[in-house]
Amino acid sequence: MSGVPFLKMNGLGNQIIVVDMRGRTDRVTSAAAIAINGTAGTKFDQIMAIRDPRTPGTANYIEIINSDGSLAQACGNGMRCVVQTLTVEQGTQRFTFETMAGLLFGEQQADGMIAVDTGIPKLAWYDIPLAEEFADTRKIELQVGPINAPALHSPSVASMGNPHATFWVHDDVWNYALDRFGPLLENHPIFPERANISLAQVTAPDKIILRTWERGAGLTDACGTAACAAVVNGARTRRTARAATVTLPGGDLRVEWRDDDHVVLTGPAELEWTGMLDPVNGAWLRDRASA
């Protein structure tokens, strides 16, 4: 079939498709994304489309597409997959990318882990954004359940290029029906651009257990930007240090909110197999010689 090369990858279980759209003017359509996700073999959380650079000094422009066909501003796990892909292809280990969220920096480390500088978090209500003013976004008025006994309440909110709400829980994060209330909170009117919804349990000043309902994708084994937001929100509410290991269903990520306010996310990326796909209708074929 005619089409473009793609790689089926995962970043700590977060299902990623990396598509080579360099040299092309078309894009992976929303219909194609939905069709690709509708097939058991290619279900994904995000498509990372590698495009020609738009800004001098950057390696590539990365377009990020959710499984529902909508565009995403950022995806930390997906960016690690892009870094690994281009490191293997080019032998280069450090990259500057442009996304809807701005410039991002990635590096393949000597131990095989991949570090992505996701930038400076936005903490003002109008930058996240929220639909109404909150002077302090460390704790906003939002709850799930009865007014006098809510199951969840008062999340910390931040933007890592995309909106995040972190609900703090004292018990097991698996005790909550995130699949039921996740989509309701994602689409709550307080979030005009929708939001990623996370449950966070702090077990030590440098350890967080996290589950996330990902905007435009649903329940996920790992969400890198949610892990970043959890550490940022944990540090500014004095629940955690500025560096922590975040344990997600897919495994561990390391997050550091540096003194220069940049947030660095470190973790693995894994190639599963390769193929070709049609960016218009989503038809695809797996390479016979693929891993």
pLDDT at 40 over 90: no
Which CATH number do you get for residue 182? 3.10.310.10
The Cα–Cα gap between 176 and 181 comes to 9
Active-site residue, from 18, 49, 75, 277: 75
Q: Both 179 and 91 in a single domain?
A: no
**CA angle, residues 68, 70, 74, in degrees to nearest 5:** 115
Q: Both 114 and 167 in a single domain?
A: no
Q: Both 150 and 257 in a single domain?
A: yes
89-131 pLDDT, tens digit per residue, is 999 999 999 999 999 999 999 999 999 999 999 999 999 999 9
Q: Both 69 and 90 in a single domain?
A: yes
Q: Both 169 and 149 in a single domain?
A: yes
pLDDT of residue 284: 94
pLDDT of residue 275: 95
Predicted confidence band at 149 (pLDDT cuts at 50, 70, 90)? Answer: confident
pLDDT of residue 291: 56
Q: Both 9 and 115 in a single domain?
A: yes
Q: What is the mean pLDDT of residues 60-80?
A: 96
* Residue type at position 286: R
Q: Both 215 and 282 in a single domain?
A: no
Q: Both 85 and 193 in a single domain?
A: no
Residue 210: other Cβ atoms inside 10 A: 22
Q: What is the mean pLDDT of residues 230-239?
A: 98
pLDDT of residue 252: 97
Q: Both 248 and 170 in a single domain?
A: yes
* Residue type at position 195: A
Q: Catalytic residue at 223?
A: yes
* Average pLDDT value over all residues in the chain: 95
Predicted confidence band at 191 (pLDDT cuts at 50, 70, 90)? Answer: very high
The Cα–Cα gap between 211 and 174 comes to 8
The pTM of this model reads 0.93
Domain count for the chain, please give it: 2
| Domain-located, residue 135 | no
Q: Both 30 and 101 in a single domain?
A: yes
Residue that is written with structure tokens 């550490």 in the block? 231
Q: How are beta strands 196-204 and 114-117 bridged, if at all? A: unpaired
Active-site residue, from 65, 83, 173, 223: 223
Q: Both 237 and 281 in a single domain?
A: no
pLDDT of residue 247: 98
Q: Both 79 and 34 in a single domain?
A: yes
15: domain range? 4-119+269-286
